[in-house]
Each structure stands twice: as structure tokens, then as C-alpha cells.
Chains A and B, each alone.
Chain A
Amino acid sequence: MIAAEHLSKWYGQVSGLNDVTVTVPPGITGLLGPNGAGKSTFMKLVTGQLKPSKGTVKILGEPIWGNPALYHRIGFCPEQDSFYERMTGLGWVTALVSLNGLEPDAASAAAKRALEAVDLLDAADKKIGAYSKGMRQRVKMAQALAHDPQVLILDEPLSGMDPLMRRRTIRLIRDWGRSGKSVLVSSHILHEIESMTSNILLINNGRILAEGNVHQIRELIDTHPHSVFIRAEDTKALARALLVEDGVISMRFEPGAMVVETARPDAFYARLTDMAASGEAGVIDEVTSPDDNLQAVFKYLVKQ
């Protein structure tokens, strides 16, 4: 699906990606790396936003740089939270999908289908400026999949979503994979990637450190405490409910939010999702995992 050969990118004297040779197979592949690892540079190179300083990158057998026709077969959900804020979700996705050559009626129908797929049809006529963080993430995903691309490239797609939406989005990505689409998804949270696929690329300092099955590094990573930032309506009630959970090491409160350190991230995320679904500890608005989790893991892995 994606093939990079001796791919390097320099920003002046700074190296963003260094001599990467990798083949991303069909199916779902997770690109995992801490902040500054080169994930974004890799994503920008494979989506043709940047030109390789050295080497080549091909998607579906064709070079992507300067090859706009290839975007008929690619959908890209960028990381940045940027929109035409005054447009409605439906208007925005329709306008973007019409750039793929669809006539107005077909574009509108495709946009509605995509918004339905990401559970946003009810808010389709609201302005994007009024969307919550999770809704903004979902409308970004809708524009990426509206033209039914063969390859989906998703840059940190779960960032800022609440636990329920996270679960739904993960299921959606898995469904795309099962339906024969190829998906490259980046994240700095191993547990997110692991819930979508076992096939991962580990990237750090502009190099691919490892590629293959996630389970091989799983146990190493689990020995490290993992921080989770939770924005919730009633943080005290949530804290009371979480205190009894195994693996919770510490808690820290911030205005309207809390940061929990856990030694059992998998179990913790599963419990948090259940709590969000049942509402037993009030409304949970947002769950994020600070980037330094993975940074610590990488430091640890490099030392091994």
C-alpha cells in the first residue's frame, strides 16, 4: 500500500526523517511514536504535502508528490484542529468532497453518508465553530472518508474524543479495515493502536525502530506507569469510583479535570469506557493521554 525507500526529510539543518525504508501492508497499520519522533513528517510525506529530500515514497505503486490524481484513492484526516469555522459540518464536507469531482447532489449525498458513519448526522447543520472537540475530530474523519477512498490516512484521529466516541471510532476504523480498505493511523498511545490493529510501526528520532506485531513490545510497555488526563463534569465522584480500581497509582486534580496514573492502562481504559457508558460517575467529556507516556516508554526501550 505504502512503500518508502531511503526516505529522508530535512528542514534546513534539522532532520525530520532519516533514511526510512518501510513497506506498509494492506489492512490497518498503526504508526506509533512520541512527540517529535517524525510521525507528522512521515504522514506529510505519504500524503504528498512534503517533497522527500532524499528517497521515494509511493502509494498504491505511484509517487505521491505532484500527483493529485492519486488523491481520488486516498483520504486524509490531518492532526491539526483547523476548519472553516463558519461553515456547517454538512456544508464543509460537501464542499471538500466536491473537490474530488462529485456533482453537487452526489457530493451532498456522500457527505451525509460520511457524517452518518461518524455519528454526526444530527449535528450536520450546525456550524463547525459550535462543535465540541470530539465532533470536530469526527467531522475531520468524515471529510477523509466521504469519497470512499481505498487508503485512509489518519493522523491522531482519537485525540480529544470522549471514551464512548473513542470506542465507536475504533470500531469504525476496524470496520474499514475489514471492508478491505487500507488504513494508516498514527497515535502516541499504544493502547489506542492496539485496540485497532496488531500491526505497528514504531518511530523515534526520525527512524523506524521496529515494525511488526505490537504484542512483542507489549509486556515491556505495561511495566511503565501510564498517565491519563480526564475532563469530567464531576471529578470528585469519578475519583471515588476510580480509587477502588486495581492499578491506580496516583491522582492529581486540575480545574474541571484530573490526571490519573495507572499501572494497568488496558483495564483502566476499559473501566473508564464502562463508566462513561453507564454514567455512574457523571459525564466524562474528554480523555487524553499525555505524550510523555510514550516518550518514557521509548527511552526505556532504547535502553534495553
Chain B
Amino acid sequence: MKPFLRGAWRVFELSLGEMLWSRRTIFLALVVGCPVLVAAVYRIVDMLGVTPLKLNGQRMDTTVFGIMIWLLFLRFIVPVLGVFYGTSLIADEVEDKTITYLFTRPIRRSAVLFGKYIAYLVCTTLVVLPGVMLVYFLIVPFQQIGAGFTMLVTDLALMALGLAAYGGLFALVGTIMKRPLVVGLVFAFGWEQFALIMPGYVRRFTLMYYIQSLVPHAMPAESVTSLLQAFFTDNPSTLTSLVSLAGAIVVSLALAGRVVERREYVLEQ
């Protein structure tokens, strides 16, 4: 196990810088920048004295933050990043023909994949988590920041968990499929969206089913979003969700590692 982890660590060190300074990270920053921009506009409008959103005389800042976390980050940004980064962990090296340098070293191929997966996780969380924090500090009024801090920490952990789960699943897709990006997008924005609105057991075959059950935000009972949330979430317990997501990560990575150990990567001449 030790040589495996040591090899993975070295690949992580090599890959992190490459990932952070890649064009894909510019895309990542743009994607994460959108909610931050929305939050900044929200704050500016508030500062200009426009009457804030209220329900039963209460400001809805925390609810707005919750909706942004739920709809923008968890339902869109996390799956998108999982698809774009996860599917490319090995595919990019193959396409750039640099895989040879990694696969002709005395480390297991699965350690290469694992090291790159950890680099993906660090790279995306380094961009996404500060983005979530910025949105929080822009939307939630200063006086309420302390009260909602636990919720923020839970959100941050949830983002990391979501990125880990989607990244693991799409790493597997990337090692098996020839067109992993298309398959990944169809899964994230076709299958998952469809399955979540289907009654019965189908939704249990999505990652989002477990992720959104962990969302700490309670929507106001009278709002349309609360109705939507109630419709979409048939909440499994926290323990079930955590165990299911951890299982999905472990199984995906183990299968991806197995595939990459056995597969031949023929570079185009």
C-alpha cells in the first residue's frame, strides 16, 4: 500500500500545477464566477436601498443563499466540474501523448489515476469553496454571518463530497468510454434530471439523490422552491446518504483503477 500511496502522491504533485494552470481551470473559474457575480449584484442592489426580499417580514438572505447552493452549485456546477475534470484525468494525458512518461515509471497505473484524481479534487475545491464563501459573505448580512456559519461549513463539506463523488464516477467513465465527455454530460444532465423526477426507486441510481438529502437549507414553507424541494427530495437518512456516496466513490475509483491497469492506450501517430 505504501508504494502505491507514495506513487500517487508524486503524481499528485506533478499534476496539481498542470491542472491549476490549465485552460480548464479558466473555465472552472468562469463557471464559479457566475454565482459570485449574481451575489455581488444582490449585495449592490441591497446597498442601493432597494427593498430586500422578505417573507412574513423576515429578510430572505439565507434562503437566497440556500437556493444558490442548491440550484447553482449542487445541481449544476458540481456535476459539470465532475464531468469535465473526471473524464479527462487519463484522457487528457492520452490525447496530449504524455501518458507514456507516467506509464513507463515504476508505479502502478492505478496510482497514476488516484494521484490525478486527488489533484482534481484539490484543484476544484480550491476554486469552488472560496467561491461558495464569497457568495455567502456577499449575500448573508454581516449580523447573521455567525449564526449561519455551521450551515456554511456543512455546505463546503457537501461541495467537496459532491466533487469527490462525481469526479470518481466520471473518472471511471473516462477510463472505459471512448467519448466520455458526451456520456458524462448525458448522465449528469439527462439521466440524473430525469430520474430525480421519477417516482419510486429510480432516483436512487443517481448521485444527486444522496447529495441533496444532505443540504442543510430549509426553504420557507410557503415558497414555490420549498414545494419543488419537497417534490424532488425523498430524503434518505444522513447516514444512508453518506455511506452511499462513500461507497460510490470507492467502487468507482476501484473499478477505474482496475480498468486502467489492464487497458492498452494506443497513441495516435
Contact = CB atoms under 8 A, between A and B. Distances in A.
Most buried by B among A66, A78, A143: A78
Interface string A62-78: 00001011111010101
A95 B265 contact: no
Size category, B interface: 20 to 34
Given A49-B103, A99-B14, A68 B108 contact: yes
Q: Range of interface residues on chain A?
A: 20 to 34
A48 interface: yes
A100 interface: yes
A84 B18 contact: yes
Interface string B55-98: 00000000000000000000000000000000000000000111
A98 B265 CA distance: 23
A71 B100 contact: no
A42 to B, nearest CB: 14
A100 B13 CA distance: 14
B105 interface: yes
Contact of B106 (A40, A70, A80): A70
Name A's interface SS: loop
B265 A66 contact: no
B98 A49 contact: no
A78 B264 CA distance: 16
A137 B66 CA distance: 54
Nearest to A84: B18
A87 B19 CA distance: 12
Given A68-B108, A82-B97, A84-B98, A99 B7 contact: yes
A49 B106 contact: no
Nearest to B115: A99
A96 interface: yes
A99 B261 contact: no
Contact of B13 (A40, A50, A95): A95
Contacts of B179: none
Given A80-B267, A82-B97, A82-B98, A66 B104 contact: no
B265 A49 contact: yes
A71 B104 contact: yes
Contacts of B142: none
B10 A99 contact: yes
A78 B267 CA distance: 11
Contacts of B223: none
B156 interface: no
B105 A96 contact: yes
A273 interface: no
B104 A74 contact: yes
Nearest to A48: B104
Nearest to B21: A86
B201 interface: no
B239 interface: no
A94 B108 CA distance: 19
B97 to A, nearest CB: 4
In the complex, the 10 A-B pairs of residues with the closest C-beta atoms, listed nearest first: A82-B97, A99-B105, A71-B106, A95-B14, A80-B97, A76-B104, A78-B100, A72-B106, A68-B106, A82-B98
27 contacts: A11-B266, A40-B269, A47-B104, A48-B103, A49-B264, A50-B266, A66-B261, A68-B106, A68-B109, A69-B106, A70-B106, A76-B104, A78-B97, A80-B267, A82-B97, A82-B98, A84-B98, A86-B18, A87-B17, A96-B101, A96-B105, A98-B10, A98-B14, A99-B106, A99-B107, A100-B106, A101-B6
